[in-house]
Structure 1
């Protein structure tokens, strides 16, 4: 090639870039906020809607882990962004770790972190995603480790000083000006002109003191530095913190407010159980009627049902957000796949398509909610609103689903039938439905490419072997991946009974096969399903919508041993069969699995474990073989001719006694009391606001009691889900007549406590009782229980959300067979001082049904 030709090519390319940049600068499709407080696209005037995730690979801990594990951050971003596309996300938000990309004066540092952010944004653009960027985080970069010595102004001043110190404020204004002017080298476009960047949120969770005028002046200074760049995009500010200064936000030159929602609190350190749909019934904003606020746009920068491992809740949250007027929402936070096995970044959250497939599908449905439910649409109160529009959520089934004319998405086994399966163009799910039956645990996706031609994507199995919401580390494996072949059937009229199945993704060496009566065996991968006799031009490299048909991203198998996952029933009734359910997680199906009961006479009995589906096995021990007392049993799994006994086979037994080498269940008479709370055994899973005065102690008689003294003279409540605790006694519930609390008041006066029982449907029935300052058994007849309020526990963030709500229909009656949760509420009482209240504490030993 001659120099002249090379020069011509370069000049042509530079002309293209100039035209490209000028187009963005001169004809932006910038979002604007109309007089009603609704964001609209500049060209089409349509309402802006978006839903997606926070994701942190370019910064802080996630970046350090990539380096520690020798993971290429760019490749990690490519992989996760592909999964975003499969989940229908079209929005990304991140609070940028300014402390890593700025100096103390607020000068922007062009370093690896900023480059990776640019790369991530570019990759998301190619998948059709939009952005909301929060340039200032105020955080150090350590969590969950210690902060490093970063160069930025946030490290020098800290959050509190950043809001008041003149030099810190000047540094922030300088930083914002440079950040908005920063040109992404992958696109050649400055952030201020990026057409896919919807809006800026100035900073992450500022917590102001001072006066409203101070707040307004601070915000206006930041906005002025941003507007000085020529940027016309909406600017938002967090108004869900320091709400006593809300007028300062309303008086500022901002276009909207940002909100968060953690309806189940944070950092329970264990999975939270029970029906939590009442917790997400309503996102009630205390200043919703403020005239200025009504003219402001509203977005959700972070939300999650933290410490919840189930899949039913996210669409209900999305519904409540839309009712409250939210146009954008981003979940916090998507776990990068390369260390999602350990869930160490934010252990109170857990979200990843591979490792939490059902939860991820729930988030996919929530995205559909945001795009389909009209703004401010009200579907009523719980429980009437569990079905809304094209959506349904069910706590009892752990199910969220969407059914439209052309889409069918579900998170768990469902009996719902689409009105016309022949009209479907997309199916995604987990478990069994009228369209797909599949025994694996991974998510699957079916997309219609043309008549008689579909793309099938099947992800590998992920199995949780530990509670993922506990105390985690990179050395602790919480979930394992297994690439196992499972039966599948696809009932789509468009494919008819027989179709050909051809691998698409690179490295998929499974041979092409044909279905028989819609059924076949499938391994993880991407496949082309073609109706018998049909011809197609689609192939692995074909571009389709925002993906290539041969794309497939999944981590390698990590299952290296067999796991037996089983929690024994603590107590079961004599004279009734005992059902034993087990997960046997293995590379291949075991040759045999049995329960062996260790008899008192030295003899043992064996009962076959029968595989029901996937990794799930069950057996029933006849009542005649169960005497009263404690039974000990092991689970024996035979693989390759070798028998292993569990739990011993997956424990470090060097320092463990005999009792830890077997499972145990107590067999008790049907007439015996049913314990629904025991302080010694259950206090760690009690949901309650933190109290530094709370303690567990052992009395002289050897019985443990939990002491709780609320630190403020206001209502205090706690809750415990006993569903699993009484699973072996459920048939005896109908014979119980009284609810009895064993305990005492901690002060010299009686303490009034409401004792309530919550049913699986969220209805609450309770009664108040005076607990005296002496040990006693405080009894309530179950017939005396009346309609009571559901207390929102754990307490949510933001704190302005309601403390309690009515979830029980007026005509509802108490049904003891449906109870699953205990709720105790301390009630303030008037003191001798006028207009003052006090609240006493109690010590609880146990609560039983007699």
Structure 2
């Protein structure tokens, strides 16, 4: 009897693993780690969500006469260049099912099948979420789709017996669906790692009912014979977490939006503290510890910089995540408008630095050990072979074989002779390049490298605002730039041989490592070396002559310039301008105007790429307001900016750039409610409003929190005080202008955040009487960094300690104001405030 029981237990518990090992299906071991059946190696993967087969992206393809399959071909090639080996999509079930859950064989399912085939060809594996619950409209209105999700809606789908039955039927048919491009059913697809049942279910009721719901779905999936791990979202409705842990699932899925969503403008400031730790509140639960963990969606939404993704990846690995997919990759054919998810923006051509940051994050996922802890911010900004820097807007990977960077870097690889891959943006010790596209260098064999250079992608305005297909946020320019490649393996003089179709550049040679280059793919061949490779050669998961990029969309010259608001008297000023043109401008200058109608011209000197600089001396900064034009010469003709001017001597407010000149002793305004309130990072309050006062027409922002708990907001004033930084050290106090609401006093913590993330503040008692409330800068003490905007999921910490004990308040490095409204200690009530200005005096 004992022998039989032992055999039975072995069959029950070892049997599934034995099957997995034989089929190479993924299994989850006793420690909650996904492993490949054939090798028992840990499963690791990193990539993106991508939606062309469905909903808005599919409609836009049809609207713009783009073949969805061609769009998929193009973008999946870029995935391969970014090192992605994982794809995830929440399937719009509402488009491929009927109300009973029957699977519909239509163009959307066909397009998904095609996308999966193309992923497989590039070695990219996938996780599928068969049920999305979404309508198919966003950012437009939902269409009248045939599926059960439209009939019932998400809430009813979680409780209505008929809706539950439809979902179970749908899951059974979905897993049995045979991909016509591969001839393999989803349930048996070797490159499909796992299924996540549904996208972001938000359960109510009891934990036991949640368990029953999940198990009903799993049962329908297992009836197909599928042995793959089944995951469920456990980052929503975490009060029901035990219901997830008791269910028949092998893992949980998580999301992370550490900077919130839909700020409607680019978020500025050092956001590394926001991504310092992915703290799971139930991490110690024994059942959870036996579950595998993956990230179905993540992004630093509304962040346009490139330093942050590897830090997120590091925190994910520390938390035990094995797979992660960014949300969402913008299809290239309409990435110029960023309309699919305007709070996100990711595309190799249009956001090259951010895309390279994702490439480095992929390296983090494949090289940092699971659960490895690198300490707390700021110590963890350098970890393993990786480094992230807010100040340099830089993420980089430096190993013996690889050198990847997202911006100009001074880092020198330890041995350039051992490098096999370089990808980057801007200048480094290996490559110098003035263009604004990403480039990739891959060693094919000794003395032979493949170079890929993408065209320039230039943002014309903040891409995180209110967008439409009729609004061009970014343009593409195919422009010739000088490039220098310093690789011992190539020497000083090497051949540059075009590879991609349509590349009409003749073969050329470098001169002292330097050559001119236009977008395309090339073979760099050391002098005296003959190569076995040609344009049609296969290499890893690409063909050498492959190249994907939109044609030039730049039709006119743009002058991009944001004036410095205030400058200090008695000092010169640097005027920085981007001149985005098809070719280098013949001449450019800044014309400073005087009240008398006279003017003085100052040359705009080309710095690099599209960037120009003019130095305006002290004697040209006369009066309280300096007005100026920017003038460029193209094809022998002058063009004046701002564009609406008709005469280069006009000096009224609407036809000039302007900056105020203030004495060094003048106060420095770091927040003005009337002009800056829309840039505040803060939780939404329906009771908040901007009102005018009778005091010189100024405005105040009324903040009346709805709950008796801390309410914080943050404003980055770096650009606002760019011309006054030299005056900061003379200031002695931080001053709040305004009053409390509801005739009650209110405790407010005023804090200043440095570019290094350190936070120093003090509490000020604001009274109902309008006035100036101040605190001496010498009295500021170390306080917490509040995680703003508030992140998703909501269980992540509110406040973080980011200031090392050794830190000293550095007034010269401040760039962000943090205001925290605190409830009264005695009554636990909160009065609220009306804020007009915050200054340094």
Q: For 1:367-386, what aligned pairs fall within 5 Å after superposition?
A: 367-386=362-381
- Give SS of 2:678's match: helix
- Give SS of 2:219's match: helix
C-alpha distance in structure 2 between counterparts of 1:288 and 1:733, whole Å: 45
Q: 2:479 aligns with which of 484, 487, 505?
A: 484
* Paired residues of 1:458 and 1:526 also in contact (CA < 8 A): yes
C-alpha distance in structure 2 between counterparts of 1:652 and 1:381, whole Å: 56
Cα deviation per residue 1:358-387 (whole Å; 9 max; x = unaligned)?
Answer: 000000000000000000000000000000
> How far 1:28 sits from its partner (Å)?
2.1
C-alpha distance in structure 2 between counterparts of 1:703 and 1:348, whole Å: 31
Runs of 5+ consecutive residues of structure 1 not aligned to the other structure? 1-23
- Give SS of 2:193's match: strand
Q: 2:199 aligns with which of 187, 198, 204?
A: 204
- Give SS of 1:462's match: strand
Q: For 1:375-774, what aligned pairs fall within 5 Å after superposition?
A: 375-648=370-643, 658-701=652-695, 702-774=697-769
C-alpha distance in structure 1 between counterparts of 2:424 and 2:362, whole Å: 15
Partner residue in 1 for 2:24 = 29
C-alpha distance in structure 2 between counterparts of 1:642 and 1:349, whole Å: 40
- Give SS of 2:23's match: coil
Partner residue in 2 for 1:234 = 229
- Give SS of 2:681's match: coil
* Paired residues of 2:280 and 2:795 also in contact (CA < 8 A): yes
- Give SS of 2:723's match: helix
Partner residue in 2 for 1:802 = 797
Which ranges of 4 or more aligned residues in structure 1 deviate by more than 3 Å?
24-27
> How far 1:769 sits from its partner (Å)?
0.8
* Paired residues of 1:574 and 1:628 also in contact (CA < 8 A): no
> How far 1:747 sits from its partner (Å)?
1.9
> How far 1:296 sits from its partner (Å)?
0.3
Q: For 1:289-300, what aligned pairs fall within 5 Å after superposition?
A: 289-300=284-295
The reply to whether residue 847 of structure 1 matches residue 841 of structure 2 is no
Cα deviation per residue 1:399-451 (whole Å; 9 max; x = unaligned)?
Answer: 00000000000000000000000000000000000000000000000000000
C-alpha distance in structure 1 between counterparts of 2:20 and 2:732, whole Å: 74
The reply to whether residue 69 of structure 1 matches residue 60 of structure 2 is no
> How far 1:350 sits from its partner (Å)?
0.1
- Give SS of 1:364's match: helix
Q: 2:181 aligns with which of 168, 183, 186?
A: 186
C-alpha distance in structure 1 between counterparts of 2:440 and 2:59, whole Å: 33
- Give SS of 1:199's match: strand
Partner residue in 2 for 1:166 = 161
TM-score, length basis structure 2:
0.97
* Paired residues of 2:310 and 2:388 also in contact (CA < 8 A): yes
- Give SS of 2:422's match: strand
* Paired residues of 2:20 and 2:227 also in contact (CA < 8 A): no
C-alpha distance in structure 2 between counterparts of 1:803 and 1:725, whole Å: 27
The reply to whether residue 261 of structure 1 matches residue 252 of structure 2 is no
Q: For 1:829-840, what aligned pairs fall within 5 Å after superposition?
A: 829-832=824-827, 837-840=828-831
Q: For 1:304-319, what aligned pairs fall within 5 Å after superposition?
A: 304-319=299-314
C-alpha distance in structure 2 between counterparts of 1:336 and 1:211, whole Å: 41
> How far 1:830 sits from its partner (Å)?
3.4
TM-aligned CA distance change 1:598 to 1:258, over 3 Å: same
> How far 1:511 sits from its partner (Å)?
1.0
> How far 1:83 sits from its partner (Å)?
0.1
TM-aligned CA distance change 1:807 to 1:26, over 3 Å: closer
Q: 2:346 aligns with which of 351, 357, 373?
A: 351
The count of residues paired between Structure 1 and Structure 2 equals 820
- Give SS of 1:843's match: strand
C-alpha distance in structure 1 between counterparts of 2:806 and 2:420, whole Å: 43
> How far 1:592 sits from its partner (Å)?
0.3
Q: For 1:103-118, what aligned pairs fall within 5 Å after superposition?
A: 103-118=98-113
* Paired residues of 1:752 and 1:827 also in contact (CA < 8 A): yes
C-alpha distance in structure 1 between counterparts of 2:391 and 2:230, whole Å: 42
The reply to whether residue 330 of structure 1 matches residue 329 of structure 2 is no
C-alpha distance in structure 2 between counterparts of 1:342 and 1:658, whole Å: 33
* Paired residues of 1:648 and 1:662 also in contact (CA < 8 A): no
Partner residue in 2 for 1:3 = none
- Give SS of 2:69's match: helix
C-alpha distance in structure 1 between counterparts of 2:770 and 2:743, whole Å: 13
Moved more, 747-756 or 162-171: 747-756
* Paired residues of 1:25 and 1:193 also in contact (CA < 8 A): no
C-alpha distance in structure 2 between counterparts of 1:572 and 1:658, whole Å: 20
* Paired residues of 1:464 and 1:478 also in contact (CA < 8 A): yes
Q: For 1:215-294, what aligned pairs fall within 5 Å after superposition?
A: 215-294=210-289
- Give SS of 1:829's match: coil
* Paired residues of 2:625 and 2:658 also in contact (CA < 8 A): yes
> How far 1:72 sits from its partner (Å)?
0.4
C-alpha distance in structure 1 between counterparts of 2:646 and 2:603, whole Å: 26
C-alpha distance in structure 2 between counterparts of 1:625 and 1:309, whole Å: 35
C-alpha distance in structure 2 between counterparts of 1:320 and 1:708, whole Å: 34
The reply to whether residue 86 of structure 1 matches residue 81 of structure 2 is yes
- Give SS of 1:175's match: helix
* Paired residues of 1:335 and 1:345 also in contact (CA < 8 A): yes
- Give SS of 2:724's match: helix
> How far 1:594 sits from its partner (Å)?
0.3
C-alpha distance in structure 1 between counterparts of 2:670 and 2:389, whole Å: 24
> How far 1:26 sits from its partner (Å)?
11
> How far 1:474 sits from its partner (Å)?
0.1
Partner residue in 1 for 2:9 = none
* Paired residues of 2:22 and 2:37 also in contact (CA < 8 A): no
* Paired residues of 2:21 and 2:38 also in contact (CA < 8 A): no
Moved more, 659-668 or 333-342: 659-668
> How far 1:222 sits from its partner (Å)?
0.1
